[in-house]
């Protein structure tokens, strides 16, 4: 199969969808790898590293997309890339379609097949291709939150761990999944007082046991969110409903009662955000004020640490890419129910139910499209 890796063009996105090690693996299996010139530079991977393992470097994005049977990306295509869409092309990337109606429409109109990293789901409901970037975003959220609390960044001038004789910062994490638990881990390591809210009591027990009670765990509901958020210096929103829009758990009215200069980091912004007033920002302009607080809503947070993120992503995606390349997406999805859940769009049909519900569109179960492949 001809597998193409274009350069990411989203604002300050420095990751690349394949490492030289991943390319070497696929080339050894008989596939052709085409990489756009400079695609790996942001991740400190020169073109020569891809050439050394047998990948072909192509200068022009049009040629990269046109030559591909399978396109691997990191972030969802932006509007200027829609012109590359065509029938029979397969795209494998983060899509987050529930929060992006224009991209959903463009994919449907093109007749192509789009597989989403974030909806590949194992039998235990874990998300193996979202997990590594959730780990990165979670850990990074506490770090950028701590930075934003500094006075030069617009915050109140609060040092998260404090010093002897002063209070450390209060950090509230809403959602105790992969991103949230990693956010809590780093916030605790920075010396903050940390509270995690989640509706999953079993998950709260795990966090309590793991940290020996040093992190306060609270069953999440409207009352407890109100109480914890209004007393917080930093709030990290990490709520996830796989494939669907994130629920709005922090209202503008609640933010208006927070401490002046408090910071809110919305990890869920890719899925629409879990704060009422959230809207996507970029690494170039990451924050905006709401009622005297600062919102940080960068939609590609792991792009700030591409050297780490690129290798973590390829480690997770490579087994699934191998399967799609070896068997074609239909047969691969028929063999693997986790990959089947990653199919979002094919041949003008929307196969992901939460995305269909988010946009009030017709849903076609993916199972019905691969039944003859099993």
The CA distance from 37 to 7, in Å, is: 8
- DSSP per-residue codes, 275-333: BTT---BBTTB-EEEETTEEEE-BTTGGGGSHHHHHHHHHHHHHHHHHHHHHH-HHHHH
Active-site residue numbers? 96, 270
Side-chain-side CA neighbours of 82 within 13 Å: the count stands at 12
d(CA 48, CA 56) in angstroms, rounded, equals 10
Distance of CA 307 to the CA centre of its chain: 16
Rounded distance between C-alpha atoms, residue 351 and residue 365, angstroms: 5
Q: Name the residue with tokens 């990074």.
A: 140
- Token pair 């992503």 is found at 313
Angle at 123 between CA 338 and CA 116, to 5 degrees: 30
| DSSP codes, 104-172 | HHHHHHHT-EEEEGGG---TTS--TTTHHHHHHHHHHHHHHHHHHTSGGGTS----TT--TTSPPPEEE
Cα torsion through 132, 97, 356, 344, rounded to 10? -60
- Look at residues 233, 218, 280 and name the one whose alpha carbon lies nearest to residue 75: 280
What is the chain's length?
374
**Spatial distance between the Cα atoms of 28 and 328, rounded to a whole number of angstroms:** 17
């Amino acid at each position: 199969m001809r597998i193409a890796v274009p350069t990411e063009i989203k604002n300050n996105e420095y990751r690349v969808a394949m490492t030289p090690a991943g390319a070497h693996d696929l080339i050894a299996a008989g596939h052709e790898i085409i990489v756009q010139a400079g695609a790996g530079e942001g991740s400190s991977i020169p073109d020569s590293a891809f050439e050394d393992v047998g990948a072909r470097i192509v200068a022009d994005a049009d040629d990269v997309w046109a030559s591909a049977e399978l396109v691997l990306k990191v972030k969802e295509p932006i509007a200027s890339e829609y012109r590359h869409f065509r029938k029979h092309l397969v795209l494998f990337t983060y899509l987050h379609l529930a929060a992006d109606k224009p991209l959903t429409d463009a994919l449907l109109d093109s007749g192509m097949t789009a597989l989403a990293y974030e909806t590949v789901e194992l039998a235990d409901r874990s998300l193996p291709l979202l997990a590594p970037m959730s780990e990165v975003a979670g850990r990074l959220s506490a770090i950028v939150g701590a930075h934003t609390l500094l006075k030069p960044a617009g915050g109140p001038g609060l040092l998260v761990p404090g010093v002897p004789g002063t209070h450390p910062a209060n950090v509230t994490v809403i959602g105790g999944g992969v991103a949230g638990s990693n956010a809590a881990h780093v916030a605790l390591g920075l010396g903050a007082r940390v509270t995690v809210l989640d509706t999953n009591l079993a998950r709260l027990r795990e966090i309590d046991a793991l940290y020996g009670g040093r992190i306060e765990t609270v069953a999440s509901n409207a009352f407890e969110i109100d109480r914890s958020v209004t007393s917080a210096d930093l709030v990290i929103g990490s709520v996830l409903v796989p494939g669907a829009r994130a629920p709005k758990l922090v209202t503008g009215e609640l933010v208006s009662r927070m401490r002046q200069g408090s910071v809110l980091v919305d990890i869920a912004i890719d899925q629409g955000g879990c704060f009422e007033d959230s809207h996507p920002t970029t690494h170039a302009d990451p924050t905006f004020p709401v009622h005297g607080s600062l919102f940080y809503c960068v939609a590609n947070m792991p792009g700030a640490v591409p050297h780490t993120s690129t290798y973590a992503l390829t480690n997770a995606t490579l087994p699934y890419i191998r399967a799609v390349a070896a068997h074609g997406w239909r047969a691969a999805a028929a063999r693997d129910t986790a990959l089947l859940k990653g199919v979002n769009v094919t041949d003008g049909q929307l196969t992901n139910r939460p995305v269909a519900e988010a946009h009030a569109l017709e849903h076609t179960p993916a199972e019905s499209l691969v039944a003859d492949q099993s």
